[in-house]
Amino acid sequence: MRNSYLILVLILSSCLSFDNTSLPSYTGAVNEVVIVIDDPLWEGACGDSIRHYFNSEVPGLSWIEPLFDIIQINASDFGRIFETHRNLIIVQKGEKTNIYFNTKPYSRNQWFCIIEYETARDLQKILGEYLPIISHQIEQKEQERYDLVGPPKKPLPSAAKKFNLNFGLPNKYKSVLDTNGFSWFEYNPPDKEIIKGVFIYEYAGVRPFNATTLLMARDSVLKQFVLGVSDSSYMTTEHQYAPHVSIHNHDNLKILRVKGLWKMSNAFMGGSFVSNFICDTTNNRVLALEGFLFSPGEDKRNRMKELEWIISDFKIRSSK
């Protein structure tokens, strides 16, 4: 009896102490998803549901790019080359309809999901229920990976001093302008036509706290500080395209996240931006953390996601 009990304890300990450090590294590109689903399902209503979510248009870009890049394969083609992919979904027939998340991943830090179904109708139903959750989880996992293995960040002492803000940027970002009320940093390599920039600024509490009012204030600030080559050129919001607005919460602070397009007034230059407008009622202000991109002729989704992740990693200090 004692030996049986000892064996049981060892088995449970082995299960509970399992970690994936011995697994291989994940493979695949950022925002790429492998879906193991057979052609008849993929070409029908179930595949339409998956494509509806995963191919949805990323907001705030100057052209259409999908939320994820999908690689669909049949179950008969699933092998070691696909097992370690960073984001993996397996759709398979089962005794009951259910969904399992990260039960036993094939690689380290992999996002893994198994969807089992009894009938095609059952599969359609569970996809309708869980696809928004799956999409959100994959986005969160990509941000987690960036925070874990992305470029090291250096804290910005000026942000702490001027804006009461704990915030850092990758080492490749250099200061462009650092005044009392406005900080501007850029990654602008000399051998590439790309600019990734970050702004930090603030203004007294805005009422009402909505996108229209905030973008008007934004345009006023950028007109003052972000000037072009000529005296009459400055950065502003491209108002011909409606921005995408979402509400978030960070450390009990309300955030209005705005994704849209920017342009240089009286100049031929523009791109995408993402702004976190933080309602800091304790200090009676709106604090803006903003990322912008200039990358003509190149896909922008992943670079804008990186900027979004960067400006979302902050903490307002307890007192100013």
Which residues have a Cβ under 8 Å from the Cβ of 188 and sit 6 or more positions away? 174, 194, 195, 196, 197
Q: What is the mean pLDDT of residues 193-203?
A: 96
Q: Give the integer Cα–Cα distance in Å for 302 and 193.
A: 16
The predicted pLDDT at position 267 comes to 86
Task: For 239-261, write each residue's pLDDT tens digit.
Answer: 999 999 999 999 999 999 999 99
Q: What residue type is 147 in one-letter code?
A: D
pLDDT classification of 20: cutoffs 50, 70, 90? low
pLDDT classification of 95: cutoffs 50, 70, 90? very high
**pLDDT tops 50 at residue 124:** yes
pLDDT classification of 82: cutoffs 50, 70, 90? very high
The predicted pLDDT at position 319 comes to 58
The predicted pLDDT at position 18 comes to 44
Closest CA to 302 of 263, 266, 265, 274: 274
Domains defined along the chain, listed by start: 17-149 (3.30.379), 154-316 (3.40.1000.10)
The predicted pLDDT at position 203 comes to 87
Does the pTM exceed 0.85? yes
With b meaning 16 or more CB within 10 Å and e meaning fewer, what string describes 142-165? bbebbeeeeeeeeebebbeebbbb
- Angstrom CA distances, 20 to 102, 110, 114, 245, 272, stand at 11, 9, 18, 38, 38
**pLDDT tops 60 at residue 129:** yes
* Helix/strand/coil percentages in the chain, nearest 5: 30, 35, 35
Q: Give the integer Cα–Cα distance in Å for 166 and 148.
A: 18
**pLDDT tops 80 at residue 28:** yes
Strands 253-265 and 234-237: antiparallel
User: Is pLDDT larger for residue 282 or for residue 261?
Assistant: 261
Q: Give the integer Cα–Cα distance in Å for 116 and 135.
A: 18
**pLDDT tops 70 at residue 44:** yes
- In this structure, are residues 290 and 255 in contact, taking their beta carbons and an 8 Å threshold? no
Q: Give the integer Cα–Cα distance in Å for 80 and 169.
A: 37
Which residues have a Cβ under 8 Å from the Cβ of 252 and sit 6 or more positions away? none
The predicted pLDDT at position 194 comes to 95
**pLDDT tops 90 at residue 205:** no
